[in-house]
Amino acid sequence: MIAGLVSRPSATTNPGFLIHLSGAGIVSDWLSDHEPGTLNSKIWSDVTDIDAITSLPANALHRNVDTIIQTAAAEHGAKLKTAIVCPPDIYGPGRGPGRKQSAFFPMFVREVMKVGSPFYVAGGENKRSWVHIEDLMSMYLGLVAAAAEGGWKAD
């Protein structure tokens, strides 16, 4: 996709846009010494923490593909504009031709039903973030609309 976007004859005057769905797993603390079930007070910001996020180690979830995209954007400058979207877990019914439900939310509900009540690990202080599919799609549409207008409103 990257090669196609940057090799278009008009790429010099009309950049290609690549919007990539990654995931918030990139900032998860599964590689740290953080104890499961305890609250991690770190709240990541896609604005103030962007340097830390874009320099996470190669073994961070999603980092392999994110690195390819970031490298291509740096290499091709004005020919390629990119957005890497890292939503937390998604819930809500899908409206596309493929998957109609989120992966994790139904799994959590099934596990609660098996156990008979909600459960937690250790102190149960950890938190999980969710986004509704409709809200995520609204954000995607905003990125597509900004790309159609040259991308300048997508900062």
Mean pLDDT, the chain, whole residue set:
85
Q: What percent of the chain has pLDDT over 70?
A: 99
pLDDT of residue 27: 81
Rounded Cα distance between 137 and 18, Å, is 16
Rounded Cα distance between 143 and 155, Å, is 10
Domain ranges in the chain are 2-148
User: Does position 153 have pLDDT exceeding 80, yes or no?
Assistant: no
What would the pLDDT profile of 75-130 be if each residue is shown by its tens digit? 998 899 999 998 988 888 888 788 777 777 788 888 889 988 877 778 777 777 88
**What mean pLDDT is predicted for residues 24-28?**
81
Q: Which pTM was predicted? A: 0.81
Q: Are 18 and 80 in contact (CB under 8 A)?
A: yes
Rounded Cα distance between 67 and 116, Å, is 42
Structure tokens at 41: 């007070």
Q: Please give the radius of gyration of the chain, using alpha carbons only, rounded to the nearest integer.
A: 19
